[in-house]
Structure formats: C-alpha cells, structure tokens
Amino acid sequence: MNRENIRKPEMNDFNRIYDLVIIGGGMIGPSIAHFAQKKLGSKSHIALLEQSRDLGQGTSVKSLEQGRCGWPDKTVCNMMVTTTNILQRPQDYGLRVTPDQLGLTKKPYFWAASTENEIKTYQQLAFILKRRGIDAEFLDLNLAMELCPWLIGTSVKGGMLDRSGFKIDSQVLAKAFAEATPDAQFFIDTPAQQIIIENGRVIGVKTHDGIIKTNKVVIAAGPATRGLVETVDGLTIPIVSLPRYNYYSNNRNPALRENDPFVIVPITGAYWRPERGGILGGFSHKVDGIQKPSEFFPGEDNLFKIKFLTAVWQGLNPKGLTDPDEINDIFSDPLGFYAATYSKNAPFGSGTVSGGYYVHRENAIEDDRPMMFWLTPDIGIMTAFSGHGVMGAPAAGLYGAEIFFGNRDQYVDHKHFGLKPPPSKGISLTI
C-alpha cells in the first residue's frame, strides 16, 4: 500500500495554507478526508493531524471492529446501511481495495432474550427492521437453541438474530481511505494542541512542531474533541467520554464454534464472539462520563475480566443464583464461564484486557446518533459515535462531506446530527 502521504510533517508543510485541516486519524478522520477531497476537488489542500505513529491506532482497542445495520433509530440504521454498501463495493466510492482486503466478513448478532419484556422488545424490533429491509428475525426458544446449542440450560428463552452483522479490519480501512486520497496529507505523530483564532476566525492549528495554517477545521478526535474545542475561548461541546474495555482469552468452551454469532445478553450488557480460537468480549458497565480525559487510553482495569465473566454468568444464570459458588459441579454450566469467573486455575481466568474511550452526547447517553455539524462557521465537529466509529466511519465521511461542503439534504436529514437533534424514537440498544 502506498504510504507516501502518511508521514510526519516537514518544514515546507508549515508554510502552506490548507483549505481544510482534520484533527484525528482514527477512522472518522481518514473517511471525511477522502470524501471532502471529492467535494472540494483535487486542487484543494487537505491535511489530517494524527497524534499516534500511524492511522487507526486507537480504533481497534476501542471497538470489537464489529458492525451491524439493525439499529432501532431509523437515521442510524440508514447510516449503517450506507456503511455496508461502501464496504461491499469500496471501489464504487473511490477506494482501491476489495472487501476481502478490508477483512470484511459476515458475523451476525444474536440478542439473547431472558425475560418476557426482552422477548416482546426483540419481536417488535425484528418486525421493524424487516420492514426496513434488514435481514433480522426473532428466534423462539427452539430456534435459538438450534442456533447456539450451548445456550441450552441457561436463562435464554429466545432472541433476535441480525444477519447484517460484519467484522472489518479498521486499520486497513483507515489506510485505504488515505491511499485513495493522494492529494491530501496525513501527518502522523503530530498531536493537535490548540485551535488558533485571530479576529474571531480560525487561522491554524498549533502542534508541537509549529502551526499548520488553515481557515477551516474539522475535529474528529474522539475523546480529545471537547478539550480541543475548549482551547477556543467561550466554546464548548456537550459530550462525555466513557472507558470501554475488551477482554480476550485464548481459551473457550469447545461448544462455542468459530462461526457462531456475536452474542449480546442485554440483561447485563455482556457481549462476546469466538475469536482466533478464543473469545473476545466485554460489557457495558455504568460509569460516570469524563468531559476531558487526560489520556487517550484509560487506566488499566485489572479486574475487568472478572467483571466481564461475572456479567456473562449473571446474564445466563439458569437458576437465578446470587453466588456462583453455589454451583457444585463447575463443569455443569453450558459455557464453562461460571466457575472460570472465580477460579484462578480455570482457563478463562487468564487473558488480556485492553481499553479506550467511547464518546456520547452528554445529556443523552442512550442516543446513538453522532454529531456532525458546524459549531462555528469554520470549526466542524464529528464526534459522539458511541463506540461505533468503525461501523459508522465510511458513511460518516460521506454524510459529513455533504453536511460541511455540499448539498446537505442529498444523503441525510442533517438536523439529526446537529447539536440539538429531534428526539430519537424507538427502542434503545446501546451495545
């Protein structure tokens, strides 16, 4: 892959005035750079600033690189359908890669319902999604057990299967956007420090090596977005960052097959999938949001694997036991997780934990619609992807280019991505 435009800035780069500077080289930044270049033309000068030593470095640890179209909010659902179209036909959108090179593989979602309320919820959602053309259906107890035999004996009574799910290699995709945008420059190892304002207008972005000159900035810096906005006197943005950890173990119960779906147990928020002979998963635990994280990655949570396995145990507990120690036969459970949660010698007691932040609207944690709008006439915002930047990025670049530089109504009703969108209607699923 050609990497000539992925580099550290040189002295001449600080003498040029760029038509647009994008801050953030995770997934959203390279995508908006690609589609913005199409809107602004090949003669426009675009620069992207990424603090890490390569593009997409923070993406894979903040996400399971998993995506789906089955969202209850229609705006987000349509956005993810657009992402899927781009990933399935990347060359139609200017990318020089194939779906196989992007690592695109099918990985359905299975939402395991354990209560009558969950059953009704997923019956309703499956009906809504099917009307939108999404390949989703509700599975009763027998069909659910046929899909995942290892669920026999758990609390699961059925669930929703969303066949639109997929996996992707996020770093390959980020670099594919850069390679397909040769007229833009992607400056790595170049953290943005401050938005420079003169006479009320943007004139550049300060870095540790100097000022990158521009009069238009789009901030797509994930958890650093709010802090960068607040380098401008009087500006802020109502977002918070929440830590999210992933747990990988190279051991798993043989009953879990490599092609089994991505499983979510909504009652506890635990989720996982078979991965490289082991399991990869996590859970959505309730924590307070952080307005401006001091570090890009959260501090280590050495207890997370126990918390994750406990959430699995509680979510699939067939007898409603309050203490896993009440189970006498540690191998009697379907997953082999119950005992592993508390046994130091069990194979699932080992494993690795990694983490990052995901960004939400401050006063609407369960609203999964991201923000894409002009905060000022020359400062654009792309944030609040709720930990779903990988699946949202391709469409976000396409939509964002329209919102910032084109006919804003061509692809999407832009008011849904503004600072104060209309209320989100539907069932909230935040996994």
**What is the per-residue pLDDT across 296-315, written as a single tens digit (0 to 9) for each?**
778 778 788 878 877 887 88
Residue 382 in contact with residue 23, Cβ under 8 Å? no
With the CA atoms of 154, 64, 242 and 308 taken in that order, what torsion angle do they form, in degrees rounded to the nearest 10? 30
**What is the per-residue pLDDT across 398-430, written as a single tens digit (0 to 9) for each?**
999 999 998 655 556 778 899 888 877 655 554
Quick one: pLDDT at residue 430? 43
Residue 214 in contact with residue 202, Cβ under 8 Å? yes
Bridge partners of 67, per DSSP, are 166
**Quick one: which H or E segment has residue 360?**
strand 352-361
Closest CA to 88 of 71, 75, 115, 69: 69
Residue 42 in contact with residue 408, Cβ under 8 Å? no
**What is the per-residue pLDDT across 8-52, written as a single tens digit (0 to 9) for each?**
999 999 999 999 999 999 999 999 999 999 999 989 999 999 999
**Full-model pTM:** 0.91
From-to residues of CATH 3.50.50.60 in the chain: 6-98+169-237+363-417
**Highest mean pLDDT of the ranges 59-68, 185-194, 406-415:** 185-194
List Cα–Cα distances, 93 to 101, 178, 290, 355, in angstroms. 15, 13, 36, 32
For residues 31 and 400, what is the distance between their CA atoms, to the nearest angstrom? 9
CATH class of 6-98+169-237+363-417: alpha beta
SS3 138: strand
Higher pLDDT among residues 232 and 354, named by residue: 232
**What is the per-residue pLDDT across 91-136, written as a single tens digit (0 to 9) for each?**
999 999 999 999 999 999 999 999 999 999 999 999 999 999 999 9
**What is the per-residue pLDDT across 264-287, written as a single tens digit (0 to 9) for each?**
998 888 898 888 878 888 887 777
Whether the per-residue pLDDT at 80 is higher than 60: the answer is yes
- Write down the mean pLDDT value for the chain: 86
Quick one: pLDDT at residue 59? 56
Report CA 20 to chain centroid distance, whole Å: 25
Residue 21 in contact with residue 217, Cβ under 8 Å? yes
Whether the per-residue pLDDT at 338 is higher than 50: the answer is no
Whether the per-residue pLDDT at 334 is higher than 60: the answer is no
Closest CA to 42 of 147, 183, 208: 183
Whether the per-residue pLDDT at 331 is higher than 50: the answer is no
* CATH classification for the domain delimited by 105-166+241-359, as one of 3.30.70.370, 3.30.70.270, 3.40.50.11900, 3.30.9.10: 3.30.9.10
Quick one: pLDDT at residue 412? 64
For residues 27 and 356, what is the distance between their CA atoms, to the nearest angstrom? 14
Higher pLDDT among residues 301 and 324, named by residue: 301
Quick one: pLDDT at residue 330? 43
From-to residues of CATH 3.30.9.10 in the chain: 105-166+241-359
Quick one: pLDDT at residue 425? 63
Quick one: pLDDT at residue 62? 52
Kindly state the average pLDDT of the residues 371-397: 92
Quick one: pLDDT at residue 339? 42
**What is the per-residue pLDDT across 211-264, written as a single tens digit (0 to 9) for each?**
999 999 999 999 999 999 999 999 999 999 988 888 888 777 777 888 999 999
